[in-house]
Each structure stands twice: as C-alpha cells, then as structure tokens.
Amino acid sequence: MPLEKIYVIRHGFRSNWLVDPATGTYSAYIPSPTGIPADPALTSHGVSQARELARHLMTLDPPVEAVYSSPFYRCLQTLEPFMQNLELRKQQRDRKASGPAAGDDGVVARPAAIAVLKSLFPAIDEGYQPVVVPSPRGETLAQLQERVAVALRGIIEQCDAQGARSALLCTHAAVVIVLGRILTGQRKGEASGGKASLSADSFDAAASLITGGWNCELNSDCSFLSGGKERGWRFAGDESFPGTGSLSRGDAESKL
C-alpha cells in the first residue's frame, strides 16, 4: 500500500547559542547534552510543548507508522514523548512503530555522532542510511530545496516499499516550509506556524500527474498547544526556487 499521508512537525522551543562573527566559533550558556554548543536542548517550555504535541499525535488518523527526524538534539527531544507513548501503545496493543532515523536534515552546525544520539534516544535506528547528507560548508536556498526534495523522495520510496500508510517527519522551520512547497507544488506565501506545530499532507491519486500531487490538510497547526503559535518563521529575501518539480508518483520527468 503506498504512503497516504505525511505529517511534519517543527521542533519545540529550544535554548540558544552564540556565534563569534570573527572566528565562527559556537558557544552556549547552557551546556548541550551532546556536548555541541550549537546543538541545544529544549527549554522547559519546549518540553511542555513536546508533551502536548505527543498527546495530539496519538489521535491522528491514519496513525503514524514511520518516524523520521533531523539528528539534532532538539528534534529528537521533541519526538521523545511521542515515541514513549508509541511504546506504551505497542505494549498494550502489540503494535509496532518505527524509531526515529537520524539523518536527512541539518545545518552548518554538525549534529552528534549516531552512537552518542543512540545513548540518549534508544529508539533511534542505528542502521538507517541517510538518503542525502548536507554539505558541511552550508548551502543556498536552492541547494536546500534540492536536498530536501531528494531526501523526501527517498523517504516516500522507503515507506511505499515497507507498506507504511503514514510517516512523521520532525525538522526545522526552513525545512518545514520547503517540504510544504515540494509536496503541494506551491512556491510562495507560506510561513512556519510556530514551535512544535503540525502540518499534514495527503497524497491525491486523482491528481498524480499534477505538480505536487499532495493536498495540504494542515499548515503549521498550533491549536493543540496551550500557548498557541509562538516564534513563527519565514525566509528573508528571495523566496523563489527554480524548478520545484513534482513528487508525484506519476511524474517520470521530475528534475528532482
């Protein structure tokens, strides 16, 4: 059975870090659990958001059957309450859910090694191989869009092969926006709705030859959070990406 729905969440409210403009050196007032200054944990408010998000995710239909995440600590920590809830459901109903797979996302600051992340988040699948790895030198907006498209196509193919009806992706604000653009074929006018927000896109088989091929059902929804929308985000400058292409299963000519 092909993938029917993709859920996308933005990580919760995180602590901050500093960058020395002269040297490019990262520092932080609050030590990171991974030992990397630019890989901060959630704040106490972010942890509360993650718990509220987890309760809401357990009500989704179809339920989440595969989980993918940025390997940065704040994303994995945002998923942690939900993964714990899935484990309880598994014990009660003998159902199985995939653990978060580190990879497919990131920024110039590098995440911790998989072995370190596994010690902090046991649900991580150590054997997962990322579809694409970001450049350590950073990327332009167009390069970001291309990388996300390649990763997303790989994730859809994996889920199709495994028979997963739905997948959950936890990532960062810029990637949330780019994912929405690629799935729907819409290039402008959207913004990330806030920390710990939820978006949902369903595959439209009847429109399989139309750019995008996915219908947006939720766009950065924060209605389930007691604090509502916080820290919305959008791209600055030129938001146009050349050749957005399509992730439709019927589009053999897609450049992505």
59 vs 79: CA distance, rounded Å: 15
Read off the tokens for 228. 């509502």
Segments making up each domain of the chain, as ranges? 5-221
Residue 1: per-residue pLDDT: 64
Question: Confidence band (pLDDT; 50, 70, 90) for 205?
Answer: low
Bigger pLDDT: 245 vs 203: 203
Torsion angles phi and psi, residue 49, rounded to 5: -60, -40
Residue 191: per-residue pLDDT: 60
Q: What value does the mean pLDDT of the chain take?
A: 80
Record: fold of 5-221: Rossmann fold (3.40.50)
Question: Secondary structure of the chain: what % helix, strand, coil (to 5)?
Answer: 30, 15, 55
Residue 252: per-residue pLDDT: 35
Question: Confidence band (pLDDT; 50, 70, 90) for 189?
Answer: low
Alpha helix ranges (H) inside the chain: 44-57, 73-93, 114-120, 141-162, 173-184
Q: Considering only 12-16, 203-207, 233-237, 242-246, which range has the smallest mean pLDDT? A: 242-246
pLDDT at 65 over 80: yes
pLDDT at 48 over 90: yes
Task: Please give the average per-residue pLDDT across 221-246, as a whole number.
Answer: 68
How many angstroms separate the first and last alpha carbons of the chain? Answer: 23
Q: How many residues does the chain have?
A: 256
**Residue 63 half-sphere exposure, CB side, CA atoms within 13 Å?**
15
pLDDT at 137 over 50: yes
pLDDT at 113 over 70: yes
Q: Considering only 29-38, 130-139, 165-174, 208-217, which range has the smallest mean pLDDT? A: 208-217
Bigger pLDDT: 30 vs 137: 30
180 vs 178: CA distance, rounded Å: 5
Do the beta carbons of residue 100 and residue 80 sit within 8 Å?
Answer: no
Residue 22: per-residue pLDDT: 87
Which residues lie closer than 8 Å to 227 by C-beta, 6 or more apart?
45, 49
Bigger pLDDT: 127 vs 64: 64
Q: Model confidence over 212-225: pLDDT tens digits? A: 688 888 888 899 99
Q: Model confidence over 74-97: pLDDT tens digits? A: 999 999 999 998 876 655 443 333
204 vs 143: CA distance, rounded Å: 27
Residue 207: per-residue pLDDT: 56
204 vs 202: CA distance, rounded Å: 6
pLDDT at 226 over 50: yes
Bigger pLDDT: 160 vs 132: 160
